[in-house]
Every structure is written in structure tokens, then in C-alpha cells.
């Protein structure tokens, strides 16, 4: 049985109120700065970038910051234990390439983006802005949304900090 | 300015209600099964276990399931790109050892445990039960709390599923 807490119902229960409030929070409100490498970078240099920037995922981009691939610690670890020479291997070989990448946008509600992270079992999503190059639709990388961002938001909302920060 | 939503305040605002409700949810309600290896396991076998079980963190234990260390993908990746032979290296060399490990318990509120994950910049916490061996306080590993667990809870609460599942 649920313990009684000191408030009255107003037609909606507490969890509906959570949904109402949380639906106002967008990806742009909590996203991180993206860490990118060129598609021709070696797997070794991509790992060095991960450690220098202390991130679990880097994005491979073409000129203009156009999203080409996603490289996670898991991707690199798989290659590394296979006994391959990471110096000689471009990230192109091991990254998850477009159009297989699940993306989000700055305007998407955090809740929908967090659901993409869970449903697709990924650690992070590139935050992108759709644009057009020579008639093709491409995505420019503008941010990074991680499980850490979502977990931090959960903690902040739970501590009652959400109301002022995200409205 | 915050858009008006269709409910009345009852003395507490929506975020206080979130805190009330979320504070009832304990680590045991959302924790995962722990994946453990022996302290004498090689770093290579620890990575193989990570891939087989599809987890980002494994715990090194002594006989009786007593927590001795935590090994993350980041720990192994650091060793792997250093050109070391993972087969010849026991996890003992690269794990975060006790007593440096941040732990949680099944009874701890998820909010407090999630705050530990964020504040200590770790991907997961061992869920432990304190016990005593030869007069020394030790921790038996009984679960694993990850950022994924927290992000999934956030999604479920936001979708209004929390009220029935966690009370």
C-alpha cells in the first residue's frame, strides 16, 4: 500500500503532474557539448580523444560538422581485444555509420529522447540539426545527449531543483 | 514564463510531489543482476565477460561474493591501448579496489544512489549487503545499479507508469 503523503489530488495524480512538468524540458536544456573526430582519424586517436575529453562516445564527422558515424568505448574495446593495430585502423571501419544512427534534436522533449536511449540500448545520442547539401538531407552535429545528462536531470528534479531551471 | 497546465496548486508544487513519490522508490526496485569475476581472472577474460553479458562494469569478488573491486570498460580500454597483454594481466592490477569503491544498498532511495553516481562520475554502483568476516566488516555483492536503470526509471515515471510499479 502506498503511504499517504500531505497533499490532495486535483483530478490528476502526482505522476501526471510529473509528466506535465517533464514534458516542458527539452534536449537543449540538458545536452552536452559534442566531441567529434574526422572520419579519417585512426581508432587509436579516437580513443585518445575519448580519454582527453573524458567521454564515452565520439562522433565522426565530415567537413562542415556533418554526422557520419558514432564510436563508443564498446566499439573500440571490441577491436582492441581482437589484437588489431588501432593505429592503422580508421574509425570508419568500426563506427556505427549513417543512416543507422539514432539521433535527437534540441527541440525534442527529453523524455522522448531518453526513451530512444533506452529502447535502442545506446549510451548517448547525437543532437543534430537537419540541413541540406546538394539536395541531400544531412545532419549537422550540435550536441550530445547522454545517460549521464538524463540521470543528472532525474537527481535535480528529485531534489526539487527542476522547477526553476527548466521552465 | 512557464506555460499554464491544467491543475491547481495544493500548497506543494509539482516538483515537491515528485520528490515525495520518488523518495519511496528504493534501489532494490530497479537494480540489475550483478556480473562478477574472481580477483585472479585475467583482464582479457573480464572483457570477454563484459561482452557476453553485455554490461559496462564487472565486479571482482573474493570467495563468498565479497566485493574486492570494480572494473569498467574505461579501465580495460586504458590498459588495452597501452599495448599491454590483457591475457597476462589480472583484473587486480587495473580494478578500482576497496575501500575506494562507492556502494549502495537495496534499501537506499534511488534518488540518493543516483546522486552518488553523478557526484562520483561512475557508470554504476555495486549494490551490497554489509556482513562480517573474522570481525572485519565486508560487503557482499547483491546487485548492480547503473545509469541505464536510472534513465529507464525516469522514462517510466515520465510516461506515468511509476505509480503502480514502485509503491
B12-37 pLDDT tens trace? 555 566 667 788 899 999 999 999 99
Q: What is the pLDDT of residues B76-100, one digit of tens each?
A: 999 988 888 899 999 999 999 999 9
Where residue B9 falls among pLDDT bands split at 50, 70, 90? very low
Q: What is the pLDDT of residues A102-112, one digit of tens each?
A: 999 999 999 99
Instruction: Measure CB to CB from residue A155 to each of B3, B5, B118 and give the nearest one.
Output: B118
Question: Measured between CA atoms, how close is B88 to chain A, in angstroms?
Answer: 13
The cell 579519417 sits on which residue?
Answer: A40
The reported pLDDT for the residue numbered B84 is 84
The reported pLDDT for the residue numbered B2 is 52
Query: Nearest-CA residue of chain B relative to A112?
Result: B155
Q: Do A8 and B5 touch (CB under 8 A)?
A: no
Residues 6+ positions from A127 with CB-CB distance below 8 Å: A27, A28, A31, A34, A103, A104, A105, A106, A141, A142, A143, A144, A145
Say yes or no to pLDDT of A1 above 70: no
Domain membership of residue B131 (yes or no) is yes
Indicate the burial class of A74 (C-beta count within 10 angstroms; 0-12, 13-18, 19 or more): middle
The reported pLDDT for the residue numbered A132 is 83
Question: Measured between CA atoms, how close is B96 to chain A, in angstroms?
Answer: 17
Query: Nearest-CA residue of chain B relative to A50?
Result: B74
Q: Which chain B residues are Cβ-neighbours of A158 within 8 angstroms? A: 18-19, 22-23, 111, 114
Helix (H, G, I), strand (E, B) or coil at A12: coil
Say yes or no to pLDDT of B68 above 80: yes
Domain membership of residue A19 (yes or no) is no
Domain membership of residue A5 (yes or no) is no
Q: Is residue A127 within 8 Å of A27, Cβ to Cβ?
A: yes
Domain extent at residue A155: 26-165
Tell me what the pLDDT averaged over chain A comes to.
Answer: 88
ipTM higher than 0.85? yes
Domain membership of residue B11 (yes or no) is no
Domain membership of residue B21 (yes or no) is no
CATH number at residue B41: 3.10.580.10
Domain membership of residue A77 (yes or no) is yes
A44 vs A60: CA distance, rounded Å: 14
CB contacts under 8 A, A 96-115 vs B, are 111, 114-115
Please tell me which residue, B126 or A12, carries the higher pLDDT value. Answer: B126
The reported pLDDT for the residue numbered A127 is 98
Alpha-carbon Rg of chain A, whole angstroms?
19
Domain membership of residue A124 (yes or no) is yes
Domain membership of residue B61 (yes or no) is yes
Pairing of strands A57-62, A36-38: parallel
Number of domains chain A is built from: 1
Of the residues A2, A11, A18, A115, the best mutation for testing chain B's interface (the one with the most B CB atoms within 10 Å of its CB) is A18
Amino acid at each position: 500500500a502506498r503511504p499517504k503523503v500531505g497533499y490532495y489530488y486535483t483530478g490528476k495524480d502526482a505522476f501526471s503532474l510529473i509528466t506535465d512538468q517533464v514534458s516542458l524540458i527539452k534536449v537543449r536544456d540538458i545536452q552536452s557539448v559534442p566531441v567529434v573526430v574526422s572520419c579519417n582519424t585512426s581508432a587509436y586517436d579516437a580513443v585518445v580523444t575519448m580519454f582527453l575529453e573524458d567521454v564515452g562516445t565520439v562522433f565522426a564527422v565530415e567537413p562542415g560538422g556533418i554526422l557520419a558515424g558514432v564510436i563508443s568505448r564498446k566499439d573500440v574495446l571490441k577491436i582492441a581485444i581482437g589484437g588489431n593495430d588501432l593505429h592503422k585502423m580508421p574509425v570508419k571501419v568500426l563506427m556505427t555509420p549513417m543512416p543507422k544512427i539514432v539521433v535527437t534534436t534540441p527541440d525534442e522533449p527529453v523524455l522522448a529522447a531518453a526513451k530512444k536511449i533506452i529502447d535502442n540500448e545506446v549510451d548517448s545520442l547525437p543532437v543534430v540539426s537537419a540541413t541540406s547539401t546538394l539536395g541531400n538531407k544531412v545532419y549537422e552535429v550540435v550536441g550530445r545527449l547522454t545517460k549521464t545528462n538524463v540521470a543528472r536531470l532525474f537527481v535535480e528534479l528529485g531534489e526539487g531543483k527542476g522547477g526553476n531551471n527548466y521552465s
